[in-house]
Amino acid sequence: MLGAPLLTSLVALAPVAAHAQAARPVPIPANTLRGEITFGLPPEIVLNGKVATRLSPASRIRGQSNTLVMSGNLGGQTHVVNYNVDGQTGLVKDVWLLTAAEASRLWPTTPEEAAKWVFDPISQSWSKP
């Protein structure tokens, strides 16, 4: 009989554990910029509504729960994202599709802003000086 209350407790906690896993398990790195990407026929993208560019051959797109998303599944869609650029090719390398809460947080949109602002790694947030 002692096992029944323990089993009941574990079953009651299962939804809490599932909810905890729903948050982004890996934080978005500080070396990313905020932007908007419209996905075309892979690897074509439009960055911030005006710059036609491409995803790099080694690009990774992470969905809102940090799972990998194939660029072919995003054709014709526009998303608010954080992204970084490959230093050698100038192509977009890594992309994070943002939740509404993530998109509402202050994040630099240019390298100049990132150089001037201060990043707090504990809270994963930026602040203007």
Q: What is the pLDDT along the chain (129 residues), one digit of tens a residue?
A: 555 554 454 445 544 444 444 457 788 999 999 999 999 999 999 999 998 999 999 999 999 999 999 999 999 999 999 999 999 999 999 999 999 999 999 999 999 999 999 999 988 999 998
Q: What is residue 4's predicted lDDT score, i.e. its pLDDT?
A: 57
Q: What is residue 24's predicted lDDT score, i.e. its pLDDT?
A: 73
* Omega cis (within 30) before 121: no
Contacts 24+ apart (CB under 8 A), 48-55: 48/109, 53/90, 53/91, 53/92, 54/91, 54/92, 55/91, 55/92, 55/93, 55/95
Q: What is residue 21's predicted lDDT score, i.e. its pLDDT?
A: 42
Contact 109, 45 (CB under 8 A): no
Give the span between the Cα atoms of 21 and 8, in whole angstroms: 21
Q: What is residue 18's predicted lDDT score, i.e. its pLDDT?
A: 43
User: What is the pTM for the complete model shown?
Assistant: 0.80
For the chain, the structural domain boundaries read 25-127
Give the span between the Cα atoms of 120 and 28, in whole angstroms: 12
Q: What is residue 16's predicted lDDT score, i.e. its pLDDT?
A: 44
Give the span between the Cα atoms of 117 and 10, in whole angstroms: 45
| Helix (H), strand (E) at residue 119 | strand 118-120
Contact 37, 47 (CB under 8 A): yes
